Structure 1
Amino acid sequence: MELNQSNPRNSGLKAAIVVLALLLMGSLAYVYKLNQDKSAVDSSLSKTMTEKEKFQSELEAKIAEYDTAIADNTALKGELEEEQAKIVELLEKIKKSNGSVAELSKYKNEYVKLKREMDNLIAENNTLKEANVGLTKNLDSTTVLLSNAKTANDTLAAKNENLSKTVEKAQKLSVLNLTTLAVKQKSSGKQVDTDKATRADVLKISFTIAENQVAKTGDRLYFVQVIDSKNNVLGEKKTEAFGSTYLPYSFQKTVKYENKTVQVQEDLPVKNITAGSYFVNVFDKNGELVSKNSFQLR
């Protein structure tokens, strides 16, 4: 009687164990499937990134190829630079992309069109380069023939230029002994020397043009510039243009020159000048500084 009662319980326990075993096996199979799917995705992503890196390397190689062609400096240089810029732009797009298959496929199609244009340009550039080499060889013989004549002409031109410079230098006039004296003008007309700024109302400026027998005779124009300690130009404050350079000056002086020493003197009226350093510059008609000096007033 006891044996018959235990049989149903044993059967139920066995059934439960079987169900649990089946559930465990199902769970294990599901986990295995998930791991397989993850491995497949990882493999796909890895493959995609590898394709992206290979594509980038190919584009970088093409950019370098463009650099070589551009360095040839043929008539196609401008077109080569434009097409290279398109490749560079495409490379930047790829670097910023997520590397998906769809994006890579899109950019590869774009690259195919660019590469076709590149191949045509590179081929044409090589043709031009070869033509230039041939032209250079043909010109070499002519260059050799002209070289001797050019050398002779250059030598003669150099001698003429040196002679011209020597003559020009010899004809230049020397401006010497530039001096400035401050004076007080009295009502009687008498001028009294002074070194006080508050008393000075006239600056007597003088210089000497030295004798030069090879210089051309005629009028010589000079611009005299007097600058106070505050960088103000005294006198007329007019301006003379020398090309793109402008020279402010105190007064101009025309001197008649006849190959002999000439003493030049000019009075510059001043008013309310201050103590300090003063600078005097003399420029010729070409705006070249020919003499300079300075003086102090207390």
Structure 2
Amino acid sequence: MSYENFPESDKPGEKTVVVKNNNRNVLTGILIVALLATWGYIIYDKNKTKQEKQDLTTQIVNSDSSKNELQRELNDAALRLDVLKTSNVKADSLLKTKDKDIEELRSKVQKIINDKNATAAQLAEARRLVAELKGNIETYTAQIEELKTQNTQLTQEKQQVTQERDIANKNYDSASQVIKQKENVIDIGSTLHASNFNIVGLKEKSGGKEKVTTTAKRVDKLRISFDIDENRITQSGMKDIYVCITSPDGNPVVVDALGSGKFVTRDGTEKPFTKKVQINYVQGQKQPVTVEWTQNSNFQTGNYKIEIYNNGFKIGEGVRAFKKGGLFG
């Protein structure tokens, strides 16, 4: 029997075992690598998802914070507008002309704020619009202040003009009062004055002859004569003379058909006159006047009082007495 020596590696059956073990090790390594890669991916993906979630949360928080800040600024702007409107009538008038533009800006901003899915670009646009609104408010505020300044100046100018007007009116009133007083003095001074009264009763006879009588039933007419004294103040021209006759029974002698009427005296009362005559007076000269009065009825027994008026003043008077007739009367 013969024997052969083989190396241990060349022993029958061992090579197959070694190959199988190597393949198993390789597969195991691959599986381990794949498992590690899977776990690594899972961990990476989980971390990435977590980061994305955190980023999204941060974005949401930032978005909400931006919206809150925009809402606050918008509310502040709206409040300033309300204050401007209520603080001054001119401001309210100015802002009313801008209401459409202001409301359009506010609506755009509010729409973006209310949008839950508003993008960063939209929020940036909203911030720009708020800034524009605030800028407009600053402009309106400056304009309103300018209006207030102008109003203050106008008020001061008005007060000054009012004071000057009041002073001018006061001076005018004082001057007018002085002028009126002087005119009143002149007017009073220009009133005529009557003197040298002569009052007679006349009986008209045939042939146009006249006879003076003091018997009441024989008197056909009264002849009243007097002088208008010279007056250097009275201007030349036509002057009204009122003759007022009072009968013995105390009643005024008034006959409308013969031109009687009423005039106003200087104390403001109405007084009946018997006859009105006009004279052409010459300044500074004495002038005789004669007035006749004829009536349809008989004259009464007693005293007839004759008063002469000019310019509302009584300028003279006289009395004529008529007696009752005798037996043959």
Query: Could you say which TM-score interval applies, normalised by the shorter chain?
Result: 0.3 to 0.5
Q: Which has the greater radius of gyration?
A: 2
